[in-house]
Homo-oligomer: A and B are copies of this chain.
Amino acid sequence: MPNAKAYSATSPTSPLALTTIARRDVTAHDVQIEILYCGVCHSDLHQVRNEWSGFLPTVYPCVPGHEIVGRVTKVGPAVTKFRAGDLAAVGCMVDSDGTCPECLAGLEQFCPNVTFTYNLPDKHLGGVTYGGYSDSIVVDQRFVLRVPANLGLAGAAPLLCAGITTYSPMRHWGVTRGKKVGVVGLGGLGHMGVKFAHALGAHVVVFTTSPSKKEDALRLGADEVVISKNADEMLKHAGSFDFILDAVSAEHDINAYINLLRRDGNITLVGAPEKPLAISAFGLIMGRHSLSGSPIGGIAETQEMLDFCGKHNITADVEVIPIQKINEAYTRLLKSDVKYRFSIDMASLRSE
């Protein structure tokens, strides 16, 4: 079995550090990928620090990373979608049962037997799956995506989670030309939401608490920026939004945004605040508004998203770091001190 270099955490409080992990030999349907870039998602940090212990306890050592782009180095004999030398990408899932109604509907993210890219049982090697903070990975071709050749790879990596997480609900709730779309929170997810809503032809309004983000929001594709603390500015938009993407993980007043929806408007949460949200029933009833959530997207839709990005030349705005800076990056992530996503250049791991 080939070994791989990786960065792992051995406990909730230990920093990530160099280790060696096993990857399987390619089986008939497998694609072996040399990882070139891996985005840094806030979920990586939650999992590494076991902050989701009630939902998905962390098994150590933990190798996070589910925003993976790289180059195919080897394929199994039954692989038809890829050949050595191709660009390839892997997102949050590496397997599913393939037979349940969700899988048959192309919605593998809802499969009861889905295998996430890290921290879920690895049916090939035992133990748990190891993610993309590594120099290579082996994945069934069903879960390997094609990367349009025109995209910068460092910025393409975050599309695999931040991208699909914001693209999917916009498609699901019908964001198209002529719709008015709000994006709450301009971070790793939110900045992708702005780019997608703009490229889909919507009128895009960014809500932020920081006037300093205004210029950047406009650069990313916003048509307007509203300082959410300004009640007068908020009131001007009352009852006018078809769709709002709420990408804020911190506690905040969602009712203020529900009131901005037009009749039948929807607000979708893609950030998950830890504490329950306090929701006024009246705000939902009065305009037949809906509040929903959305997790990533299926494989077919992830490919659709990547192809859309190729067509519109969309990537994430990233700060490229060597893997040796990952612990520092986590500290900065907690302060939202990144515009807008860290992307690890995995050459730094190979040379270590």
Contacts and interface: CB of A to CB of B under 8 A. Distances in A.
Interface stretch (A58-66, A275-283, A313-321): A275-283
A287 interface: yes
Contacts of A201: none
29 contacts: A55-B282, A107-B263, A172-B288, A266-B290, A269-B285, A271-B281, A272-B281, A272-B282, A273-B281, A276-B278, A276-B279, A276-B280, A276-B281, A277-B279, A278-B278, A279-B291, A282-B293, A283-B293, A284-B292, A285-B293, A285-B294, A285-B295, A286-B295, A288-B293, A289-B292, A289-B293, A290-B290, A290-B291, A290-B292
Nearest to A110: B263
Residue among A110, A273, A277, A292 facing the most chain B CB atoms (10 A cut-off)? A292
Contact of A287 (B55, B110, B269, B280): B110
The 9 closest A-B pairs by CB, nearest first: A285-B293, A284-B293, A290-B292, A276-B278, A272-B281, A290-B290, A277-B279, A110-B263, A291-B291
Contacts of A276: 255, 278-281
Interface string A13-56: 00000000000000000000000000000000000000000010
A284 B288 contact: no
Contacts of A281: 269, 271-273, 276-277, 293
A286 to B, nearest CB: 6
Contact of A286 (B102, B284, B285, B293): B293
A270 interface: yes
A168 to B, nearest CB: 9
Contacts of A283: 293
Contacts of A280: 276-277
Q: What is the count of identical protomers in the complex?
A: 2
Given A288-B292, A291-B292, 9 more contacts: A107-B263, A276-B278, A276-B279, A278-B278, A285-B295, A286-B295, A288-B293, A288-B295, A291-B291
Nearest to A102: B263
A324 to B, nearest CB: 33
A255 B269 CA distance: 15
A209 B110 CA distance: 31
Contacts of A285: 269-270, 272, 293-295
A223 to B, nearest CB: 22
A249 to B, nearest CB: 9
A281 B55 CA distance: 13
Contact of A288 (B110, B273, B282): B110
A114 B281 CA distance: 21
A282 B172 CA distance: 18
Contacts of A293: 281-286, 288-289
